[in-house]
Amino acid sequence: MMQQRSILHLDVLSHFFRPRGGYAELDYLRELARVRVPTLMLHGELDPIVPVELARATFNAFPAGCATLHVFPDCAHDMSQDAWPEAAAHIRQFIRSHAHAGG
């Protein structure tokens, strides 16, 4: 079960999300269509910082078959605390499935 452990820094969030702040200028979705390498995305369905809908939109911006998205149901933003064994298993499997012999 997820534990309360995050510290919310409102000054950092308000700076990042202000008009003309870092978030407003971050438009990466169009550029993802140019990615040609296998990409693993792991996301917590309960993430209070990056909504799962944004993770799905990001996944859909990649070329078909290029990205893999796994959403962890009882996980927030910090996967290392909420779902580490499962996340590590996905990472290992992804690396094994994309590793080149002799590389």
The answer for residues whose C-beta is within 8 angstroms of residue 50's C-beta and 6 or more apart is 43, 77
CA–CA gap between residue 74 and residue 72 (Å, rounded)? 6
Tens of pLDDT, residue by residue over 61-95, are 999 999 999 999 999 988 888 999 999 999 999 99
Token pair of 74, please? 């009882």
Give the number of other Cβ atoms within 10 Å of residue 16's Cβ.
13
Residue spans of the domains in the chain: they are 35-98
pTM, to two decimals:
0.74
Q: Look up tokens 């990056």; give the residue.
A: 50
Tens of pLDDT, residue by residue over 2-28, are 455 555 667 766 766 777 766 666 678
What's the Cα-to-Cα distance from 101 to each of 95, 96, 97, 98, rounded to whole Å? 12, 10, 11, 10
- Strand positions, DSSP E, the chain: 39-44, 67-72
